Amino acid sequence: MKNKTYLSFLNNSTKISNDENLNKILFIIIICVSIPSILINLFAIYRLHPNTKLSVFVFRSILHVSLFTTCTCVPFFLIELYFNSYVPLSLILCKSWLIVDYSSIVCLGLLVCWASIQRHILIFGPIHIKKLQSTFKFKLIPSLFALGFPLTWYSILILKCEYNKTENERVQCRPCFENEKIIFLIDTLLSLLFPLFITIIATFLLLIRIIRLRLSLFRSNLKKWRRCKRLTRQMILFSFIYLIGLLPYVLTNLNSLYNFWPLFNSSSYIQIANAFTYVPCCFSSFLSIYAFPEIWKTRENRHHHNHQHSLKTNRRHRKTSINMPSTFPTTSSTEI
């Protein structure tokens, strides 16, 4: 009996030491990634701020939410890693962190989901729909929904939670609704699984449609093809980083509900999945540098490029007006 007790004590101590080592590794990795991410995010937001294109607006919103999450939620997660899952915070701060943390992650998912749908409208939609999308209220409504829905939902769920403090006045900040199977399943479906599924389907269909468009535009209208390729590349990059961050967390949630793989219910796998949820907010700034080349253009170069583009457009209109009068309305590609 003593040997069994001693073996269980050794197993528990080994498990605790492994968790502490994992927390230290995650702590170092997140610090090394989040600090340059904040600096690059600030630079990207500053350079994209004058850009009023409709295709850039939703990604500017993603960068703003990512910056806010990296500056507010990531430090609390680092504190949790440093103190090995126990946070020396008051109950108010603990609940506030959980609300903002869960809401910001779901908000990023909803924005990426909307961006994947919007790409179909911008590339293949009719002209009057594009003009309707470019109005301010249609720019703002999806962003307000992506922010308001998770804030309201998680405020209702988390404010009801009650926590017990340890002897060191530390609180283990975990949302209590994860212990209720039905509510946890509804939250996983509404907040994570449905947006993830829509993003995958919309991005996959966009890739198929853009390949068909390339075949139809082969050696003709190369300018339109470059713009469509740029919009598709931006969507694929942000969808990919969103899938990397949220897919492990969704699978861990489903596994905790139905216990498909008992091995993945350990605290180590759950902590890694929780850390992966910060991948979209930390790496979206790095992706923006590659996805938006205009970030590196100076204002003088951008002004010169726009001036040259307007001169070419005027010359083209003069030629077409001399050859034959056109009665069809045209829209500039700079709007999207």
Write out the chain's pLDDT in tens, 336 residues: 443 333 333 344 444 556 788 888 999 999 999 999 999 999 999 988 887 777 788 888 999 999 999 999 999 888 888 877 666 677 788 888 889 999 999 999 999 999 998 888 888 877 666 666 666 667 788 888 999 999 999 998 888 877 665 544 556 677 788 778 888 888 888 888 899 899 999 999 988 888 887 777 655 666 777 778 888 888 888 889 888 988 888 888 888 877 777 777 777 888 888 899 999 999 998 988 888 887 877 654 555 445 454 555 555 545 444 444 443 334 444 446
Q: Note the pTM of the prediction, 2 decimals.
A: 0.78
Determine what percent of the chain falls in helix, strand and coil, rounding each to the nearest 5. Answer: 80, 0, 15
User: Is residue 321 in a domain?
Assistant: no
Q: How far apart are CA 61 and CA 111, in angstroms?
A: 8
The domain spanning residue 247 has which CATH number?
1.20.1070.10
User: Is residue 314 in a domain?
Assistant: no
The DSSP bridge partners found for residue 87 are 171
User: Is residue 335 in a domain?
Assistant: no
CB 73 within 8 A of CB 101: yes
User: Is residue 327 in a domain?
Assistant: no
For position 234, what pLDDT does the model report? 85
For position 172, what pLDDT does the model report? 66
User: Is residue 51 in a domain?
Assistant: yes
Query: What does DSSP assign to residue 334?
Result: G
Report the SS3 class of residue 30.
Answer: helix
User: Is residue 10 in a domain?
Assistant: no
Query: Rounded to the nearest 10 degrees, what angle do helices 136-158 and 91-124 cross at?
Result: 150
CB count within 10 Å of CB 94 equals 19
Contact partners, residue 271, CB within 8 Å, separation at least 6? 19, 22, 23, 26, 85
User: Is residue 73 in a domain?
Assistant: yes
**C-alpha count within 13 angstroms, C-beta hemisphere, residue 183:** 11
Overall domain count for the chain: 1
Counts for the chain of helices (H) and strands (E), in that order? 11, 0
**Can you say whether the dihedral through the CA atoms of 201, 203, 208, 213 is positive or negative?**
positive
Range of the domain at 108: 22-298
User: Is residue 4 in a domain?
Assistant: no
The two three-digit tokens of residue 250, written as one number: 């969704």
